[in-house]
Chain A
Amino acid sequence: MAFHKSNRNSLARQEERLFYLFISPWLLGFLVLTCLSMAASLYWSFTEYDMLTSPKWIGLENYQSAFSGFDSRLFWQALKVTLIYTFSSVPLQLVGGFLVAILMNQQIKGINVFRTIYYLPSITAGVATAMLWLFIFNPQFGILNWLLAQVGIEGPAWLASRKWALPALIMMSMWGFGGPMVIYLAGLQGIPQHLYEAAKIDGANAFKQFLYVTIPQMTPIIFFNLVMSIIGTFQVFTSAFVMTAGGPVNATLFYVLYLYREAFQSFRMGYASALAWVLFIIIMIFTGIQVKLSGKWVYYEGIR
């Protein structure tokens, strides 16, 4: 018994050594690059730092300024905009991407071409797409309001309107489902065929197969897309930067756009670092919640 236990311990230790060996490339990069630069920005968040002269320690002042002081109005506005955007566009992208992936998984002729077309908007360089969307959303000449007019609706001013600018950017984000779609597609290939056959034998129709085989088998991938979309969307920057510059009147002031301006236009790297760490904590909380909840709904075949 004693012998058995120590044997098992040495095996466990061996596996542990192997684990560290396998993750060592990442660990090296993390310690040399990521960890150092994260530490530097954490330090700056407690300082007044304009990037050109040495940082000056000011304790929690940056954080206090964001939450309830000088900067609080814009801080809360940026946070509000970002939360609304994240919680509207993430579900749209995830569900949209999943449905399209199911469609794109059909064995029909020319599907290779269709897949490429559906992925196209996700790889078109940012500026070109942004310019196109500006034309689509134009209140007078845009295609969108023309379509609405055909069904008797007078379209709003979209990006020029304080009320509609953010919804317009959310609509635009739906075009970006290509990334999640590809991951879902790859995931769909990993579902063992015998599970479907077994379900057929049990008399399950296509819908039931989808419900009881596809979805459970896909949960690790859905979980991945969910976590990554939230992390990514919280840090969205380009569309507001290129299309609305945060306006009109801060209606599309995304958090990272706000942060970028404070850092590189206002020379407030210390404050921007504090903003970054607040966002870090927020994203961490949301990710933590998802990881906790994932135990209830994500199904892992190979957990050991």
Chain B
Amino acid sequence: MAQTNTTITAQKTKTHWSQSIHSLEVTGKIAAYVIISLGALLMIFPFVWMLSTSFKTYGQVFAWPPVWFPQPLQWKNYPEALTILPFHTYFKNTATIVLCNVLGATLSSALVGYAFARMRARGKNIWFLILLSSMMLPHQVTLIPHYVIYRLLGWVDTLRPLIIPTFLGGGAFNVFLMRQFFLTLPGELEDAAYIDGCNAFGIWSRIMLPLAKPALGTIAIFTFMSSWNDFFYPLIYLHSPQNRTMALALRFFQSQYGTDTHLLMAASVTMLIPMMVVFFSAQKIFVKG
């Protein structure tokens, strides 16, 4: 309020041109703040609801009107949710899968995406179309053949089906994303490097990869989020209890005849917080500070 007043008075007393531009910028900034904050309220709403539910008793979950600030807070929901299913033992599996996937997806999609963006070869467009097409068939109908292949390889009930495929190109989505990023870089980059005697791999690793940092960061974050949250493939390929991932364990909270919503939410919040921290601290990779 005080700030708006001062800008208004400033506008009245001084009619200097740059000054009024400045005040415009200030009001613009304030407007941006207001819009962003209002939007943020909408965006954070689901999370607040989850958080509040995770501290409720069983009976409060469906109370009407809704209880937003449960009194007293049911802290015990957290230890309860996390001991009913031993999340800490599943954390190791999840962490292994997520870290390997981030590494595999960034490296291999950068390699393949670079080739699709900046190398000339006959049949390249055909291969690219084939790459895209591999995303167009719903995975429900390729589930059984995949299972058979992994069984023949002896990979079922190991973490391998969840890790090794990401090293093989890192998924068409990521390859396509890398390709698009490499295409936005100026065309003369490699020519200069070739003249300097770099080989193709050297150009890729020493010149191109550093320039592709925002894209690599984006892919790393997406891969982190999707493999952290993925329950379906672990569900199909993992059998033994000790191989379970956290997302799969979370899935068990939904039962046939009703859901223990308060425990589900406590477990969901626990799963969400590491992702928030990772996203918060990783943004500087793809956004300049």
Contact = CB atoms under 8 A, between A and B. Distances in A.
Q: Chain B contact residues (Cβ within 8 angstroms of A): what range? A: 35 or more
A50 to B, nearest CB: 12
Interface string A8-51: 00001001101110110110111011101110110010000001
Contacts of B183: 220, 300-303
Nearest to A125: B268
A98 to B, nearest CB: 14
A257 to B, nearest CB: 10
Interface residues of B, dominant DSSP? helix
A7 B131 CA distance: 31
B20 interface: no
A157 to B, nearest CB: 18
B68 to A, nearest CB: 12
Given A123-B272, A228-B173, A259 B140 contact: yes
Contacts of A41: 137, 141-142, 145
A182 B35 CA distance: 19
Contact of B40 (A118, A122, A125): A118
A201 to B, nearest CB: 17
Contact of B185 (A115, A277, A279, A301): A301
B73 to A, nearest CB: 19
B136 interface: yes
B146 A301 contact: no
A19 B287 contact: no
A131 B287 CA distance: 33
Where chain A touches its partner, the secondary structure class is helix
In this complex, the interface size class of chain A, counting residues with CB under 8 Å from chain B, is 35 or more
Contacts of A235: 138
B35 A223 contact: no
Given A16-B121, A117-B40, A132-B50, A302 B187 contact: yes
Contacts, number: 258
A155 interface: no
B187 A301 contact: yes
Which residue of A28, A256, A300 has the most chain B CB atoms within 10 A of its CB atom? Answer: A300
A105 B49 contact: no
Given A287-B132, A301-B183, A273 B141 contact: yes
Given A103-B36, A125-B271, A259-B138, A19 B124 contact: yes
Nearest 8 interchain pairs by C-beta: A29-B168, A26-B169, A37-B145, A22-B115, A19-B121, A37-B142, A186-B214, A186-B286
12 contacts: A15-B121, A16-B121, A18-B115, A19-B124, A33-B168, A36-B149, A51-B144, A117-B40, A123-B272, A128-B268, A187-B214, A190-B215
